[in-house]
Homo-oligomer: A and B are copies of this chain.
Amino acid sequence: MSVLESEVRPGAYADSIVLMQLQGALAKLPGVLDAGVVMGTPANLDLLAANGLLADELAGVRPDDLVLVVRAESAAAAAAALAEADGLMERPGATAGDEFRPHSLASAAKLMPEAGWVLVSVPGRYAAVVAREALALGRHVFLYSDNVSLEDERALKQTAGAEGLLVLGPDCGTAAVGGVGLGFANRTRRGGIGLVGASGTGLQAVAARIHAAGGGVSHAIGTGGRDLAAEIGGVTARQGLDLLARDPETAAIVLVSKPPAPAVATRVLAAARAAGKPVVVCFLGQPPPARRLGSLWFAAGLTEAADLALERAQERALEASAEGDGRVAAAGGRGALRGLFAGGTLAYEALRTLSAVVSPLASNVSFPGVEPLPDPSRSRGHTVLDLGADAFTVGRPHPMIDQDLRLRRLRREAADPETGLIVLDVVLGEGAHADPAAELGPAISEALAGRDDLEIAALVVGTDEDPQDLAAQRERLEAAGARVFGDLAAGLAWIAERLRPEAPEPLLPVPLEALAPPAAINVGLESFYASLVGQGARAIHVDWRPPAGGDERLQAILERMKDR
């Protein structure tokens, strides 16, 4: 038999690590079998229930309420344990020190004016207010807190982007600047690989592997998991890439993110291409668009990303200062892409590669991140068409045999002044048209006549044993003015090089000093302060409490009063 006793403290606040320690301490008291100390969120109540700790009295508990539950051998033991809770909570933690602890960020900033960073790990609903204050004080923010709204994130990053400040987060687990880890960070030797990532443990796994393989990390810029969402636009990732591009210590960059919004992905990749350094891109859960596109290398996973970066950094070290500043323009597109494919899989491969480079991209082929084309007879902006799709082939031969459809479309696309680049595949071999270049050649010449702002690329799939004579086909297409590729991947890389997304709103460059060994103000989890001090960084800890003791209405009033 056991007895369950609970206590609810409405609106009470304690550092979550303090709660964890209290729970551990309660569980160790005499006669206590198990204990739970949590905020009263639905998930936490489910968890109490799953562990046989959900007392009946907890029916009306709210997320703001602090809940203490004890299961004990007797009612007396349970009551005794709960009575000890306050004493246990006040016991100084392992990291408590004697230093003076300011009660506000503002006074901490006065005490340590050289602190360029503020670490924020207070509960989510208070975090945006603290971060805003830090930005107003001109400091970069490492925003560990989660459960911050998308609107708050957007507003914080817009402010930061316009003022040359960084907001790493919210929900940013990991960063390392100037050799000092912020939040969660593995200790690695320093070296030439810079990391940017919307993924905390992703960055850690890459950093740990780089270290294990003998490489080193220059800096790691965590961005928070939502930075590459459409609403945020990759502000921090773009700032981070730009910073590492200018950082002389960084020879190669790794960019890690869970699947980004398509339009954001293209802009962030454009920023990566603009870095003028090799960038290894790992968009987890997304098919890599290619093995390589110019200075970008694509990895399907974290281990591979680390390995590719190690290779790139080594190559780069060999090249050394031989080359100048390789930075290129991040944006400024040419005309629209029009891909007119006979081969369905070739259209698919084109989408895979090119959807990483331009957005929006439309197609009659369904592909993640690509817009469906409502009327395949009309192209719209960047468009890739599979002319062998069922809808086009009822009662007519496949376009690999019958080129009429494609020749007509080619003429129409060339007549569209929006069109800047037309891509055709030419599939040779048994069963295919006996001499496709004989028809395509004149059509290509005609299309290019009088349009010096138009290019045409032909991706040829064939062998030197094919009946059509591969070399003659290539020659004829080249003579007509097309750029001809025998290798699909190489052709798509060339096309990708020609396409640029629209320029995103400009960001004020973040001064390189952001990457110097940091001095920092810590607001929230005391363990982060201890970690900073342990790493030899100058740091100050704010003895933060929720404004108005956790009362949100009162807090809102106080906030408004401050603004006046």
Contacts and interface: CB of A to CB of B under 8 A. Distances in A.
Nearest to A408: B51
Contacts of A488: 205, 209, 301-303
Interface in A533-558: 534-535
Interface in A372-412: 375-377, 390-398, 400-402, 404-405, 408, 412
A183 B204 CA distance: 51
Q: Chain A: interface residue count, which band?
A: 35 or more
Residue among A51, A462, A463 with max Cβ neighbours from chain B (10 Å): A463
Contact of A181 (B200, B343, B431): B431
A117 interface: no
Interface stretch (A37-45, A78-86, A263-271, A323-331): A37-45
Given A345-B284, A349-B302, A20 B204 contact: no
A401 B16 CA distance: 10
Contacts of A348: 199, 202, 258, 284-285
A185 B17 contact: no
A147 B390 contact: yes
Contact of A186 (B202, B391, B463): B463
A509 interface: no
A360 interface: no
Nearest to A27: B404
A461 interface: yes
Nearest to A398: B173
Interface in A199-252: 199-202, 204-205, 207-209, 211-212, 225
A184 B390 contact: no
A19 B396 CA distance: 7
A123 B201 CA distance: 54
Copies in the complex: 2
Interface in A91-110: none
Contacts of A464: 211
Contacts of A23: 404
Given A39-B395, A47-B405, A396-B38, A184 B430 contact: yes
Residue among A171, A205, A464 with max Cβ neighbours from chain B (10 Å): A205
A63 B46 CA distance: 59
B188 A463 contact: yes
A31 interface: no
A467 interface: yes
Contacts of A404: 20, 23-24
Contact of A429 (B187, B202, B351, B393): B187
Nearest to A183: B431
A89 to B, nearest CB: 15
A429 B291 contact: no
A521 interface: no
Contacts of A392: 43, 47
A186 B39 contact: no
Nearest to A432: B184
Given A200-B344, A487-B209, A397 B302 contact: no
A199 B344 contact: yes
Contact of A300 (B171, B288, B463): B288
Contacts of A277: none
Contacts of A300: 287-288, 290-291, 298, 300, 352
A486 interface: yes
B525 A397 contact: yes
Given A348-B285, A395-B38, A201 B430 contact: no
Nearest to A65: B395
Interface in A49-68: 50-51, 63
Given A288-B300, A401-B527, A462-B208, A19 B395 contact: yes
A472 B368 CA distance: 44
Contact of A466 (B46, B187, B302): B187
A273 to B, nearest CB: 19
Nearest to A486: B212
A146 interface: yes
27 contacts: A16-B397, A17-B397, A17-B402, A20-B396, A41-B395, A43-B391, A173-B398, A173-B400, A173-B431, A181-B430, A181-B431, A186-B462, A187-B429, A189-B465, A200-B344, A201-B461, A202-B346, A285-B287, A287-B287, A288-B288, A288-B301, A300-B300, A302-B349, A302-B488, A303-B490, A397-B525, A467-B534
